[in-house]
Structure 1
Amino acid sequence: MQRFEDKTVVVTGGGGGIGGATCRRFAREGARVAVLDLNPGAAETVAARIEAEAEGGRALALRCDITERASVDAAVAAVLERFGAIDVLVNNAGWDVFRPFTKTEPAQWEKLIAINLTGALHMHHAVLPGMAARKAGRIVNIASDAARVGSSGEAVYAACKGGLVAFTKTIAREHARHGITANVVCPGPTDTALFADYKEGAGNPEKLMEAFTRSIPLGRIGQPDDLPGAILFFASDDAAFVTGQVLSVSGGLTMNG
């Protein structure tokens, strides 16, 4: 029996690099996967690949703007109608702008907060009541090592992700009595579209890539497929007694403990 057979998993930002890899891995392990993304074409591409590659793969692509509560509620209702109860929520969607804090503007702060923090709050608020009623559920929030150690040029993003870490720990405490676990995965530099924007914003992407590669003990930038293992662990029964924890997946770039 596969680990997620008969489980329904919702992944925000499911059309992107880490999100897409996570959706495909859940599907290969038996889950019904709802692929939520602001870009419906990206979500549909991931869902189609799941249904083509995973034997009996079941996927639902949904456009969802996590910054708008009505959009979140509509997406959650569509998942419930199609697949039934939501067993796992992975809050993966994110966005960043790369520049020193004093060179940013309040409109950018608002967008960063809306996507990276408020959007996750919307998803929790929409999904948690059902999990609490069933006294079962797994939540995995994707933050960033920027939340743990800071990152130059990402002040507001780091603040949002730090807030997500603190929020997750609080949800873990509030809902432990309901049998719900909530944990955080913090990627380090990972070869995604967001990281490509980061390199371009730095002005010298080749030099930045070389510096990152030298600083990572395992000697390379992370790939999207490096993340699903940690995410699925927290979502699985293997982590039934693990909650409120933060795991860095960064090739050793940041170490703690």
Structure 2
Amino acid sequence: MSQTDTDAFTKFDLTGRTAVVTGGSTGLGYFMARGLARSGATVVLAARRESLLKEAADKMAAEAPQGHVEYAAVDLGDRGSIEELAQSTLERFGGVDILIGNAGADLFQPVDEISYENFDQVMQINVAANLALMRAYLPHMRQQQWGRIMFSSSATSLAGSAQEGMGAYTAAKAALNGFVRTAAAETGHDNITVNTIVFGMYLTDMVKEHLKLVEDSAGIDAVRGFESSFASMTAAGRLGDCQEVEGMAQLLASEAGSYITGSNLVIDGGMSAMLRPHEPRPERLVYS
């Protein structure tokens, strides 16, 4: 291996870094956290259900022996619980170097039915909780002149959804997209990067559970129709595999991504690039 190759590889090394990943027990959060652990980081998985957290931490420790995995229960809808998470991680590690705010909540209500209370709850979990954790961890990042912050956003923040009931969720994710630009401008001189990762449609545990409900109520053909409909909306022609997000997390959390900040990085299989869904391909004409 050449010196250039060695330098490129070591830029992804996160040995000695501590990361907190909210929503880290399942889905996209789990695989982003696993990517950091595989790069050598100490990773704290934070989510609501302790039983799932323990199971996820044990699994990740086996899959990513390069790092160290711990977990902490938190209710991001409760400001006191968020403060407890921030305080406990700061006391435990002396500081947090990497924050991935991945946990989210949606509200399936049409825009003319959303109550103030429900809207506030969606904004609390998707936006305010992330800002509270960022505020808690920034002093350490500024002091050491190094920090990495990323929030999970959604392709629904870039274009309207035909699925009724996404208004509050879309507003929350769009808020994060805008927030990271100002946050990046204010923290960049301290070698801190702040970005959103804009996700498309992935086969998460939540989506799989939904598909199981669809199958139970309407049959396997309905499931195939659902998958085909969403797949046709992407340039890739398929839904995303959660494991495909590991590399982006490793990039943004490491020295390799040190010049990426204030960005909304889209990994949606080309969904946002499509003007209309793919149509069935016609039979190719054969000329004699």
- 2:266 aligned residue (241, 244, 248): 248
Q: TM-score, normalised by structure 1?
A: 0.90
- 2:128 aligned residue (118, 127, 137): 118
CA contact (8 A) 2:231 2:238 kept: yes
2:196 corresponding residue in structure 1 = 184
Provide the rounded CA distance (Å) in 2 between the counterparts of 1:195 and 1:106: 27
Provide the rounded CA distance (Å) in 1 between the counterparts of 2:78 and 2:235: 40
CA contact (8 A) 1:67 1:118 kept: no
Give the deviation of 1:104 after TM superposition.
Answer: 3.6
SS at match of 1:11: strand
Provide the rounded CA distance (Å) in 1 between the counterparts of 2:145 and 2:113: 46
1:201-243 deviation digits (Å, cap 9, x = unpaired): 9x96543322111121111111211212112211111111111
Runs in 1 of length 4+ with deviation above 4 angstroms? Answer: 196-201, 203-206
Bigger shift: 238-247 or 48-57? Answer: 48-57
CA contact (8 A) 2:95 2:137 kept: no
Give, as a single letter, the amino acid of the residue that structure 2 aligns with 1:149. A
- Which residues of structure 1 form unaligned runs of 5+? none
Give the deviation of 1:194 after TM superposition.
Answer: 4.1
Identity level (%): 29
2:232 corresponding residue in structure 1 = 214
Q: In the TM superposition, what are the counterparts of 1:69-84 in structure 2 within 5 Å?
A: 69-84=79-94
Q: In the TM superposition, what are the counterparts of 1:130-169 in structure 2 within 5 Å?
A: 130-152=140-162, 153=164, 154-169=166-181
Give, as a single letter, the amino acid of the residue that structure 2 aligns with 1:35. L
Let me know the Cα RMSD of the aligned residues: 2.2
Give, as a single letter, the amino acid of the residue that structure 2 aligns with 1:91. G
1:52 corresponding residue in structure 2 = 62
Give, as a single letter, the amino acid of the residue that structure 1 aligns with 2:136. A
Provide the rounded CA distance (Å) in 2 between the counterparts of 1:24 and 1:178: 27
SS at match of 1:131: helix
Bigger shift: 235-244 or 42-51? Answer: 42-51
1:228 corresponding residue in structure 2 = 246
CA contact (8 A) 2:155 2:200 kept: yes
Provide the rounded CA distance (Å) in 2 between the counterparts of 1:176 and 1:89: 15
CA contact (8 A) 1:67 1:122 kept: no
Bigger shift: 1-10 or 168-177? Answer: 1-10
CA contact (8 A) 1:96 1:194 kept: no
Give, as a single letter, the amino acid of the residue that structure 2 aligns with 1:63. A
Give, as a single letter, the amino acid of the residue that structure 2 aligns with 1:8. T
SS at match of 1:25: helix
Give the deviation of 1:180 after TM superposition.
Answer: 0.7
1:12 corresponding residue in structure 2 = 22
- Which residues of structure 2 form unaligned runs of 5+? 1-9, 275-288
Give, as a single letter, the amino acid of the residue that structure 2 aligns with 1:49. K
1:66 corresponding residue in structure 2 = 76
